[in-house]
Amino acid sequence: MQTRRWVNRYQTQTLVLGNVLLYMEGVFNIARGTFFALIGAGMLLAGYGIANDKKVAWKLGVGTSFLSILMRLTAQNIGFNVIFSLVFPIALLTLLIHPQSREYQKIWFN
């Protein structure tokens, strides 16, 4: 029996937190504007795929979080607002590329 889930609590802690943060960042990015909405939709898809052990979803999550950081750095003047808006995307990228997350997805994702 194959089950679909939104969060897989049996994954490593870093991957579960990254998954939840993908959902949160995805919703916030959709509310931000046109191009950020595309990034946000990719984050939501990546979160759902990671919860269901898809390797391509992990790659999509890393790519969209990196693109989100890049867009924030180029879209605004460097200041306190940019530094504050980078907290969650940097935490997300760090959680997804953490050694525990990478090893788990190498072994268990298909």
Is it the case that residue 1 has pLDDT exceeding 50?
Answer: no
Please, what is the average pLDDT of the chain? 88
Q: What pLDDT score was predicted for residue 80?
A: 73
- Coil, helix or strand at residue 61: helix
Taking only the tens place, the pLDDT of each residue in 60-89 is: 999 999 999 998 888 666 677 777 888 899
What is the Cα 56 distance to its own chain's centre? 13
Is it the case that residue 24 has pLDDT exceeding 90?
Answer: yes
Q: What pLDDT score was predicted for residue 56?
A: 94
Q: What pLDDT score was predicted for residue 5?
A: 86
Nearest CA to 14 out of 87, 109, 97, 85 is that of: 97
How many Å apart are CA 29 and CA 75, to the nearest integer?
14
